[in-house]
Amino acid sequence: MKITRSIAAATAGAAVLVLAGGQAAMAATPRPANAVNATCSAAALSYVQARVGLAVSKRELTIGQLTGALSQRTHVTDAHRATLTGLFTTDAAGLQAVNATVHSDTTCKQAVTDGRTVVTNYRVYMLLVPQAHLVAASDTGTYGAGRLTAVEPKLQKGIDAIADPTKKAQAQAAFDDLVAQAKTATDDFADVADTMLALTPAEMPAAQSTVDVERAKVTSGHTALATALQDAKTIQSLLG
């Protein structure tokens, strides 16, 4: 049946949604006991420089992973993709610059001071990671919700044609829930990406509550979308 094929296509399109969540814990670069002194031993300075280099390397690896993941997220909008790519590039270059600066420092105090900017100026784990994940999840979710919304007229037409009153009532109930869930998902995903991309490292960690709110919206949106997909499958089975 043509309607059934349309439903299956919409369902398959929406089912690509996977919320890639999760944040790595962030730790500031530790410093040796005498790092507060203006001068220190060569060994102590090397220790600080090595720790900063390691912190930079870990963050560069994370940025590389985020870049690779973004390339697989086909439903991220062009504008959001460009913004994220710019953030990845800028942060990677900035981290390399910090590492070079620290390795040219001649005192532990200066090396520690400069090294701390690896955390405070970039916030890779606290901000960049959730930005990448939530932008991709909300854009992909918006796409999926749109696919379901687009097929609603065909679904309703198919339900109207069902002769069995019991099946028709069941299908209509599932359809009404699908419409409500798709709208909930659309509303939840709206503005998540723009809100996240507007945040800056300087606003963190004070703006952590904003990140938490946007993450909750994405979780809610994906829950609603999963329910809508189940409704679509129920309707599809009743249509035969």
Instruction: Report angle CA 132, 220, 9 to the nearest 5 degrees.
Output: 80
Residue ranges making up the domain that contains 96: 2-24+31-239
Q: How many domains does the chain have?
A: 1
Distance CA 84, CA 58 (A): 19
Structural contact between residues 160 and 134, judged by C-beta atoms closer than 8 angstroms: no
CB-based burial, 187-201: b 16+ in 10 Å, e otherwise: ebbeebbebbbebeb
Return the C-alpha torsion angle 175, 180, 181, 186, nearest 10. Answer: 130
Q: Is 84 exposed, middle or buried (0-12, 13-18, 19+ CB in 10 A)?
A: buried
Beta carbons within 8 Å of 197's beta carbon, 6+ residues apart: 80, 83, 84, 87, 131, 135
Q: What pLDDT shows up at residue 222? A: 98
**139 sits in which H/E element:** helix 129-160
Q: What pLDDT shows up at residue 39? A: 61
Return the C-alpha torsion angle 82, 84, 90, 92, nearest 10. Answer: -130
- For residue range 91-135, list pLDDT tens digits in order: 999 999 999 999 999 999 999 999 999 999 999 999 999 999 999
For the segment 11-39, the average pLDDT, to the nearest whole number, is: 41
- For residue range 129-145, list pLDDT tens digits in order: 999 999 999 999 999 99
